[in-house]
Structure 1
Amino acid sequence: MKTITNEVRDAVERSVLCWLATNDESGQPNVSPKEVFAVADDQHIVVANIASPGSAKNIRVNQKICLSFIDVFVQKGFKVMGTAVEVKPSESGYARWAAPLLEQAGERYPIQGVFVINVLSVRSILAPSYRLYPCETTEESQIQSALRAYGVTRHKRA
């Protein structure tokens, strides 16, 4: 069954950061940003464990996770629910899971392990404006609002 659609794959590839939510043994949630990640196949997303001892510990005690990707300008994205395991460099299968991450990380980021996420469900995330003001909210209006809020300008393509 294909859980990760082309639309989700495109959103992952356009994202600069994703957010991984885990829970510790007492149920306390933790959310941390991750910047090296990729779609591995139609059912799995891989995230590099570069400096995430808390996420790794939480995944060992509770494999349920939530991962989100948001385009901060368009203010749309996806919430991925699933389970995760960490695969270390000494373990079987590491090379397969780490391959797309090693391309991104290069020498800059030492990968301690790979969080392999088995995607169980995917839901879209939309800024409330899309629902509250559907007649006036467009991707372009959201982009313009975000550009003003962040104080950035667009470069014209040649």
Structure 2
Amino acid sequence: MGILTEDMKRVVDEQRLGFVATVCPDGTPNLSPKGTTAVWDDDHIVFADIRSPATVSNLRRNPSTEINVVDPMVRKGYRFKGVASVLTEGALFERILDFYRAERNLDDSRIKIRSFVLVKIEEALPVVSPAYDLGLSEEQVREKMQRYFDSLPRNIPTTRREET
């Protein structure tokens, strides 16, 4: 058995959005959301480099990283610390690409995948909202968050920009 528990795998598989932290050349942090975050095996998490030039550049220089995956409805999740490998070709790259095609319906003919980042997880810890310190149950937190999201305006304009 590896470091990733069944619950950790469940959260990653359900949420798919991981926030990946790296260190820039000047020592400042870089935090970037990755909507392709997936469990590769009992000890690895993977994500696709679709538009991640700063993240990948930082990981090539310093492969230490942390990925946070949190369910926003229950405000619980996990933080995964590990060491990243950037894959641009080879048998493992092809196996990961096949996984994304089959499991995530990723059509790489429409999306340019530059590489995959495979992170060997060395430490995995829970992330739990302080709301639980107040004695709230998971269902109460979920209901509170549902009310919050339901109260948000639905006509918020969106913008799209390149990662820097």
Q: Same fold (TM over 0.5)?
A: yes
Residue aligning to 1:20 = 20
Residue aligning to 1:147 = 146
Residue aligning to 1:96 = 95
Unaligned runs of 5+ in 2: 152-164
SS of 2:139's equivalent in the other structure is helix
TM-score by length of 2: 0.84
Question: Following the alignment from structure 2 to structure 1, what is the Cα–Cα distance between the partners of residues 115 and 100?
Answer: 10
Aligned-residue CA RMSD (Å): 1.5
Paired residues for 1:21-100 under 5 Å:
21-88=21-88, 90-100=89-99
SS of 2:42's equivalent in the other structure is coil
Report how many residues are paired: 148
Unaligned runs of 5+ in 1: 153-158
In structure 2, the CA distance between the partners of 1:140 and 1:34, relative to structure 1 (3 Å rule), is same
Question: Following the alignment from structure 1 to structure 2, what is the Cα–Cα distance between the partners of residues 75 and 20?
Answer: 18
Q: Give how far 1:92 is off.
A: 4.5
State the Cα deviation string for residues 72-131 of structure 1 (Å, max 9, x = none): 00110000000101101x344211233322332224432111000000010000011112
State which of 102, 119, 122 in structure 1 corresponds to 2:121.
119
- Percent of matched pairs sharing the same residue: 27
- Tell whether the 8 Å contact from 1:38 to 1:45 is kept in structure 2 after alignment: yes
TM-score by length of 1: 0.87
Q: Give how far 1:6 is off.
A: 0.7
Question: Following the alignment from structure 2 to structure 1, what is the Cα–Cα distance between the partners of residues 149 and 26?
Answer: 37
Superposition misfits of 4+ residues, deviation over 3 angstroms: none
